Amino acid sequence: MLLAIDVGNTNTVFGLHDGETWVAQWRSATDSTKTADDYAVWLTQLCRLEGLSFGAISDCVISTVVPQAKFNFRNLGRRYLNAEPMFIGEPDVSLGVPIRISRPEQVGADRLVNAVGAHKQHTGPLIVVDSGTATTFDIVGADGGFEGGVIAPGINLSMRALHDAAASLPRIAIQRPPQVIGQDTVSAMQSGVFLGYLNLIDGLIRRIKAEYGQPMTVIGTGGVASLFEGESEEINVFDPDITIRGLYEIFKRNKTAT
């Protein structure tokens, strides 16, 4: 089986693929201090709950935006999987798609993986809106090429900053308010955070479309994307599996080439 790992700033997603389909997916808070031993014990228990064998994992592919986590995940592969992990972004790993920006070395591995996963499932050109710690708007050409994008603070980050900077404002749950004009502090904050962020997403998408000058399909993904499902006027489809699918596609392309 293949173990695919997407290490984000806030959460880490683990997926197991048996060569035909995904048989399990798990999500954990990202913690760069966890050792290979910690992950091995955790994954062994989760595999057992799903009726799977941790010992059946023979390959590992990893995308990470947390450099400090690479050491422990590399040890996980070497010590417990008897496999050298394939890290997206390393020179010997080919994406199989062109990167059409001026500084390709600065692009986060997760954004490139998203481009591959989105192109595999959807016809382009595409805008991939990934809502996580940051919200990214990535442009994928009709041929799957990565053509740049936009990076904005994530909604949870924005809400935390509001609370931290204003001592009298409470922490609140993110949800759609009953109306735009708040009648108390909580509803006023919900309106500003939720509706303000929704307009940020839709407004940026409209500007991207206008500048690109071609019809584009907009795909929502990421840990908090479900908040905006049915609310955004510009997102056409929500696809939670873009990143994990992209990891599998890149793994296959590189395994076939060796």
Burial of 167 (0-12, 13-18, 19+ CB in 10 A): exposed
* 2-87 fold: Nucleotidyltransferase; domain 5 (3.30.420)
Give pLDDT < 70 ranges for the chain. 167, 257-258
Ordered by start, the domain boundaries in the chain are 2-87, 104-245
Q: What is the CATH number of domain 104-245?
A: 3.30.420.40
The reported pLDDT for the residue numbered 50 is 94
pLDDT, residue 182, reads: 87
Considering 18, 31, 38, 110, which one is annotated as catalytic?
Answer: 110
Q: What is the pLDDT of residue 160?
A: 80
pLDDT reported for residue 157: 81
pLDDT of residue 258: 57
110 catalytic? Reply is yes
Q: Distance between CA 79 and CA 206 in Å, rounded?
A: 48
DSSP strand pairing (86-87 vs 59-64) = parallel
Work out the burial of residue 81: count CB atoms within 10 Å of its CB; fewer than 13 is exposed, 13-18 middle, 19 or more buried. buried
Domains 2-87 and 104-245 share a fold: yes
Residues 6+ apart with CB under 8 A from 37: none
Residue 57 confidence (pLDDT) = 95
pLDDT at residue number 257: 63
